[in-house]
Structure formats: C-alpha cells, structure tokens
Amino acid sequence: MIIGWDVDGVLANTVDKILAYRNRIYGTSYRREQVISHDMHKLWGGTVNEAIEFFHRYYDSPEYRATQPVEGSVEAVRELTSRGHEHKAVSARPLVIAQSTEDFIREHYGEKTFEKIVLTNQWSTGNSGARMTKADVCRAEGVDVLVEDFVGYAEECAQAGVQTFLLDCPWNQSERLHSGVQRVKHLREVVEALSRKL
C-alpha cells in the first residue's frame, strides 16, 4: 500500500514549536491543550492573512528549525516500511518551505524512506505557485491510506475514497466523522490496523 502522511501534526510536532515561537515573541503563555481549532489564529486573534504572515516569520525562526517528530511517528513509519508499505508525504505547507520540509523528513525518517513529498501550497502568500487539494494529490499519487490530523482534510480525502486515519489531537475533536475516517489515539494504532490487511 501507499501510505500518505500529513506533515504538521502527524510527522512533525509543529504546534508545540509554533506556540513556543508565539510565546517568545509576544510574551504569551499558550499551551497545546488550548489549541482547539486547526485555525490557530482563533486562539490568539487576527485574520487568516495575518496568521499566514505570522507563519512565514515562524519559518525563519530557531523554533521551526528545532521541530521534532511526533511521538511514535518514526517507529510507525519504520514498522510499516518493514512490512512492505510505501510512503509519500502530503502536506498543505507552502512551497517556500519545500526544501526544509524535505530536509526534516530525510533527517528523521531516512534518506529514501519517503518516495515523494508533495506540498499543496494551501497556506502560501500572494501569488506564489498553484494550490492543490489533498484529495487531488492522493488521487494523483495513488495514495491508498492517509494519516492526517485536520478533520477538514481527513473528510475531504475520505469522501474521495481514501481510507483515512485521524490522529486524535485537541484541535480535531469533532463529534461526527465520515465513515471513511478512523480516529486513532496513537500512531501505533495505524500500524496495527494496516498490519491486518497488507
């Protein structure tokens, strides 16, 4: 199977570093548990465009460069590789951080573990390249299973026929999910579920 991995919140523990950066710059003390929406500006206020500009400043920060993998993700990818699955990263990140995204993935998951890293460029500024949807990318890349932390993308891909695992996080506590979306508390549950059907 080809497994599609979201980057932020699934491979990369991004929220903790964004909050560390935000707290350092603005003297705030936000914590992970307070992030109850995927739209982080709902926590600290302001517009979507201000949030996108903030994230672009964050990409230049030491906090961004110190991003660590999500707990259990390295082991899950390694285990699924050993069982013959293939991996592709499917992220909504902007193209301006394509290189650092690739560097992060190669450093933590191995040089050749991910066959492809596709960025949909959803959170880009102005006129900086075409944008795609995750469902389009999954279809084009032959992704059979997606691991995601945002309910919106999980539902979009499930509706497109991609089996989707939603990694349980404070920001994805929706009551009802599409029947093609399975919530998991830990990435080892993805390994267990996929081990039953190779």
| Residue ranges that bind Mg ion, judged by CB under 5 A | 6, 8-9, 149
Contact 143, 137 (CB under 8 A): yes
Please, what is the minimum distance in Å from the beta carbon of residue 10 to Mg ion? 6
Which residues on neighbouring strands pair with residue 89, listed in sequence order? 5, 117
Q: What is the DSSP string of 107-171?
A: HHH-SSSEEEEEE--TT--TT-S----HHHHHHHHT-SEEEES-HHHHHHHHHTT-EEEEE--GG
User: With respect to Mg ion, which residue has the nearer C-beta, 38 or 116?
Assistant: 38
User: With respect to Mg ion, which residue has the nearer C-beta, 9 or 112?
Assistant: 9
Extract the tokens encoding 193.
Answer: 């579920």
Please, what is the minimum distance in Å from the beta carbon of residue 196 to Mg ion? 25
Please, what is the minimum distance in Å from the beta carbon of residue 150 to Mg ion? 5
Helix-helix angle 134-141:151-159, to 10 degrees: 50
Please, what is the minimum distance in Å from the beta carbon of residue 138 to Mg ion? 14
User: With respect to Mg ion, which residue has the nearer C-beta, 111 or 174?
Assistant: 174
Instruction: Centre a 10 Å sphere on the Cβ of residue 158 and count the other Cβ atoms it contains.
Output: 21
**Residue 73 CA neighbour count, 13 Å, CB half:** 26
User: With respect to Mg ion, which residue has the nearer C-beta, 8 or 63?
Assistant: 8
Q: Which residue is nearest to Mg ion (CB)?
A: 9
Please, what is the minimum distance in Å from the beta carbon of residue 136 to Mg ion? 17
Phi/psi for 136 (5° steps) reads: -60, -45
Helix-helix angle 14-26:48-58, to 10 degrees: 100
User: With respect to Mg ion, which residue has the nearer C-beta, 7 or 194?
Assistant: 7
Q: Which residue has the tokens 């390295």?
A: 74
User: With respect to Mg ion, which residue has the nearer C-beta, 27 or 41?
Assistant: 41
Please, what is the minimum distance in Å from the beta carbon of residue 143 to Mg ion? 15
